[in-house]
């Protein structure tokens, strides 16, 4: 009998076989969350000129450098009033000031801006009551971005800050890595889809939807192929449709049962496949390989097993395809809150609830951990990663935790009002 394959070996095989997808041109707003495929070099300075950080008066430092009694301010002649969006036509000479707005270019001759609230002024003159160092309230040319510098290196995932920067760099379009298209196929004669009658002997196809959501969460495009019957011909036909995508994800039919045809069909389609019994729980039986150059995964049918194996194997492959540089979830250490024991033959992924407390993170399980208990995923905000060699855990033991989705503990502990992240039904 085939031995158990450690997850990290399977992950290496998957990632080594995974290509990075090519580039496509997208609009700037659409680029959010995508990975840029070009180095973005600034073609000009930002700001493009020295400009005022305040509404006020541009003056010469020489004219205002002495300390003046409040009763005896420096009085300067206002020679021009420059509204927003305009540029001064005059320069500031000795004893002169030009009124300017925030962001306006600093006029020639001036090297300080005095805030309007620190002055008294009329249309023609301004009183300055205290000295300011040279350069005060002036944002120098290029303080943000210098012409010729690489501002966003390729391989960066674009966040709102980068999208704003793309606009500063005058890039309405940008080249990003394509999003992986993932064809999703559920298998099993016992399955009924949402548009069918649920007879008593049928199980609702939940995997297709859970996996499609996971694909979207990972930045991919799901393509739902529906349900294939447990017949090799039906399976083969659906799989061949799925090969138009970048990745094909099947669930079910990878075990040793009489109706588990996935392996046979994968082989028939000429795939160089790995059929693993992974040393993890949940999610032992798994098939992976390439069919006609496309990645094909056969995940176990049990709903939790399919989600956990998706997390550990398909998601990293999708992130690599999308041009990302790290393929895992955020990981933290937490103090386990329960007792737990297991055999030392497999690595376990318990569904957990991670909480941030004054002394650090704590984590407890969601309760029953059966591979058909999807509520364990519904309640979870993390997977507790228990190494193969660990035999037992007691309260307080440190464990490694993979954080799923948005870290919800921050919402409760943060400064903004919160009504708590998890509601209970009445
Ligand atoms: P299998 O791996 O095909 O033997 O399936 C194992 C278990 O997972 C069976 O109880 C199936 O009913 C269940 N299962 C398989 N596919 C799905 C699916 N698409 N949605 C929900 N449950 C499924
Ligand atoms: Mg089945």
Amino acid 1: pLDDT: 46
| Mean pLDDT of all residues in 10-17 | 97
Do 62 and 120 sit in the same domain of this protein?
Answer: yes
Q: Is residue 417 part of a domain?
A: no
For ligand 1, mutation pick of 192, 200, 201, 203 (most atoms within 8 Å of CB): 203
Amino acid 263: pLDDT: 84
Nearest to 319 by CA among 182, 224, 183: 182
Do 359 and 244 sit in the same domain of this protein?
Answer: no
Do 166 and 295 sit in the same domain of this protein?
Answer: no
Amino acid 419: pLDDT: 58
Task: Enter the pTM of the model.
Answer: 0.91
Q: Is 190 in the pocket of ligand 1 (CB under 6 A)?
A: yes
Q: How far is the CA of 212 from the centre of ligand 2 (A)?
A: 19
Specify the CATH number for the domain of residue 128: 2.170.190.11
Do 391 and 373 sit in the same domain of this protein?
Answer: yes
Do 209 and 305 sit in the same domain of this protein?
Answer: yes
| Mean pLDDT of all residues in 169-173 | 95
Do 248 and 341 sit in the same domain of this protein?
Answer: no
Do 246 and 339 sit in the same domain of this protein?
Answer: no
**Percentage of the chain exceeding pLDDT 90:** 79
Tokens 């510098």 belong to which residue? 149
Which residues, in sequence order, are CB contacts of 40 under 8 Å at separation 6+? 150, 151, 152, 153, 165, 166, 169, 171, 174
Q: What is the pLDDT of residues 398-411, one digit of tens each?
A: 999 999 987 665 55
Q: Is residue 412 part of a domain?
A: no
Q: Is 252 in the pocket of ligand 1 (CB under 6 A)?
A: yes
Of the pLDDT bands very low, low, confident and very high (cuts 50, 70, 90), residue 424 is low
Examine the pLDDT at 255 and tell me if it is beyond 90: no
Do 268 and 309 sit in the same domain of this protein?
Answer: yes
E-assigned strand segments in 324-391: 331-336, 340-341, 347-357, 360-365, 382-386
The structural domain count of the chain equals 4
Question: Which residue did the predictor score with more confidence, 287 or 272?
Answer: 287
Q: Which domain holds residue 29?
A: 24-45+154-177
| Closest ligand 1 atom to Cα of 203 | 12
Amino acid 286: pLDDT: 93
Nearest to 264 by CA among 231, 218, 216, 224: 231
Q: What is the pLDDT of residues 305-350, one digit of tens each?
A: 999 999 999 999 999 999 999 999 999 999 999 999 999 999 999 9
Do 36 and 162 sit in the same domain of this protein?
Answer: yes
Q: How far is the CA of 370 from the centre of ligand 1 (A)?
A: 13
Task: Give just the sign of the alpha carbon dihedral 151, 156, 158, 160.
Answer: negative
Specify the CATH number for the domain of residue 312: 3.40.980.10
Do 183 and 56 sit in the same domain of this protein?
Answer: no
Q: Can you give the length of the chain in residues?
A: 426
Q: How far is the CA of 189 from the centre of ligand 1 (A)?
A: 10
| Closest ligand 1 atom to Cα of 285 | 2
Amino acid 293: pLDDT: 92
Taking a 5 Å cut-off on Cβ, the residues next to ion ligand 2 are 188, 252-253, 301
Q: How far apart are CA 61 and CA 59, in angstroms?
A: 6
Q: Is 224 in the pocket of ligand 1 (CB under 6 A)?
A: no
Q: Is 257 in the pocket of ligand 1 (CB under 6 A)?
A: yes
Question: Which residue did the predictor score with more confidence, 205 or 414?
Answer: 205
The number of C-alpha atoms within 13 Å of 297 and in the hemisphere containing its C-beta is 32
For ligand 1, mutation pick of 194, 262, 263, 302 (most atoms within 8 Å of CB): 302
Q: How far is the CA of 18 from the centre of ligand 1 (A)?
A: 27
Q: What is the pLDDT of residues 48-106, one digit of tens each?
A: 999 999 999 999 999 998 765 556 889 999 999 998 789 999 999 999 999 999 999 99
Q: Is residue 375 part of a domain?
A: yes
Q: Is 203 in the pocket of ligand 1 (CB under 6 A)?
A: yes
Nearest to 14 by CA among 421, 226, 315: 315
Of the pLDDT bands very low, low, confident and very high (cuts 50, 70, 90), residue 426 is low
Question: Which residue did the predictor score with more confidence, 201 or 258?
Answer: 201
Going by alpha carbons, the residue nearest to atom 5 of ligand 1 is 301
Specify the CATH number for the domain of residue 380: 2.40.340.10
For ligand 1, mutation pick of 206, 228, 252, 261 (most atoms within 8 Å of CB): 252
Q: Is 302 in the pocket of ligand 1 (CB under 6 A)?
A: yes
Residue-averaged pLDDT of the chain: 92
């Amino acid at each position: 009998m085939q031995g158990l394959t450690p997850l990290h070996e399977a992950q290496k095989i998957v990632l080594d076989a995974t290509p990075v997808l090519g580039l496509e041109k997208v609009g700037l707003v659409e680029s959010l969350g995508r990975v840029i495929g070009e180095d973005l070099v600034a073609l000009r300075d930002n700001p493009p000129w020295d400009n005022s950080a305040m509404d006020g008066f541009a003056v010469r430092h020489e004219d205002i450098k002495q300390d003046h009694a409040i009763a005896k301010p420096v009085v300067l002649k206002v020679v021009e009033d420059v509204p927003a969006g305009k540029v001064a036509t005059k320069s500031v000479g000795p004893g002169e000031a030009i009124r300017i707005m925030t962001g306006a270019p600093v006029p020639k001759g001036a090297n300080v801006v005095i805030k309007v609230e620190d002055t008294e002024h009329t249309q023609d003159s301004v009183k300055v009551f205290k000295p300011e160092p040279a350069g005060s309230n002036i944002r120098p040319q290029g303080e943000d971005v210098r012409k010729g510098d690489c501002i966003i290196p390729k391989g960066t995932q674009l966040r709102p800050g980068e999208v704003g920067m793309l606009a500063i760099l005058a890039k309405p379009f940008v080249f990003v890595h394509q999003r992986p298209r993932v064809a999703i196929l559920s298998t099993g004669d016992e399955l009924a889809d949402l548009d069918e009658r649920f007879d008593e002997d049928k199980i609702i196809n939940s995997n297709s939807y859970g996996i499609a959501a996971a694909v979207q969460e990972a930045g991919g495009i799901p393509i739902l192929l529906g349900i294939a019957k447990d017949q090799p011909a039906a399976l083969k036909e659906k799989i061949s449709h799925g090969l138009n995508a970048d990745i094909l994800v099947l669930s079910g039919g990878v075990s040793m049962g009489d109706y588990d045809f996935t392996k046979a069909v994968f082989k028939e389609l000429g795939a160089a496949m790995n059929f693993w019994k992974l040393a993890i729980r949940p999610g032992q039986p798994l098939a992976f390989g390439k069919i006609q150059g496309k990645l094909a995964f056969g995940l176990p049918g049990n709903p939790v097993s399919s989600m956990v194996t998706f997390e550990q194997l398909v998601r990293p492959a999708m992130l690599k395809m999308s041009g990302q540089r790290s393929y895992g979830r955020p990981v933290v250490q937490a103090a386990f809150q329960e007792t737990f024991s297991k055999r030392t033959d497999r690595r376990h992924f318990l569904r957990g609830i991670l909480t941030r407390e004054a002394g650090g993170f704590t984590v407890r399980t969601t309760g029953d951990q059966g591979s058909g208990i999807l509520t364990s995923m519904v309640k979870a905000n993390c997977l507790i990663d228990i190494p193969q060699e660990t035999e037992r855990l007691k309260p307080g033991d440190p464990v490694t935790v993979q954080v799923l989705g948005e870290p919800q503990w921050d919402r409760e502990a943060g400064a903004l009002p919160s009504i708590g992240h998890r509601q209970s039904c009445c």
